[in-house]
Amino acid sequence: MALASAYRKVQRDDAEKAMIQCAFQQGHGDAADHFGTIAELRKDFGTALRYFQMGAEYGNKSSAFALRIFFDSEQWTLRDKKDQNSLKQLGVGPDPIRKQRYNEISDALELNPDLRLTRLDQVLPLPPAELPTWHGVQDAIAPEPDGPPTY
């Protein structure tokens, strides 16, 4: 992402995009958030949701917050009808439970941006999937293996 920023400053758009893609493929949350934001601006909400979900999984607080906004009833009323209809087709609508869970994740990532939520899709899947039981952000973190480190 640092290289992408440097390329942006010298207006090398092709190289910037390549560096962001490379960062994304390496699990960089800021890169996923970048792609999510672009998709949302293009009204490609399905793609945006998937990128934001990956961004949150990779430890990006902004992605978790963006997902929180998708499920916030107050923010929902600010969306135009066409956007609401597009989101409804994806199974997305005001959902106070999802909003609260993404809020908890956003708060946890604020405290520890190094968290990686490798189980996020299992404990907080995107709609239309049903939500499983939730015991907190710890559910989304893969437990450490028993025994000594493998290094």
- Distance CA(130)–CA(16), nearest Å, equals 38
Q: Is the dihedral of CA 26, 31, 36, 41 positive or negative?
A: negative
Residue 144 — pLDDT band, cuts 50, 70, 90?
low
pLDDT of residue 145: 66
Matching residue, tokens 């207006």: 11
pLDDT tens-digit readout, 14-47: 888 888 888 889 999 999 999 999 999 999 999 9
- Distance CA(56)–CA(46), nearest Å, equals 16
Neighbours of 75 (CB within 10 A): 13
- Distance CA(36)–CA(64), nearest Å, equals 11
Its pTM stands at 0.88
Are 144 and 116 in contact by the 8 Å Cβ rule? The answer is no
pLDDT tens-digit readout, 64-110: 999 999 999 999 999 999 999 999 999 999 999 999 999 999 999 99
Are 50 and 35 in contact by the 8 Å Cβ rule? The answer is no
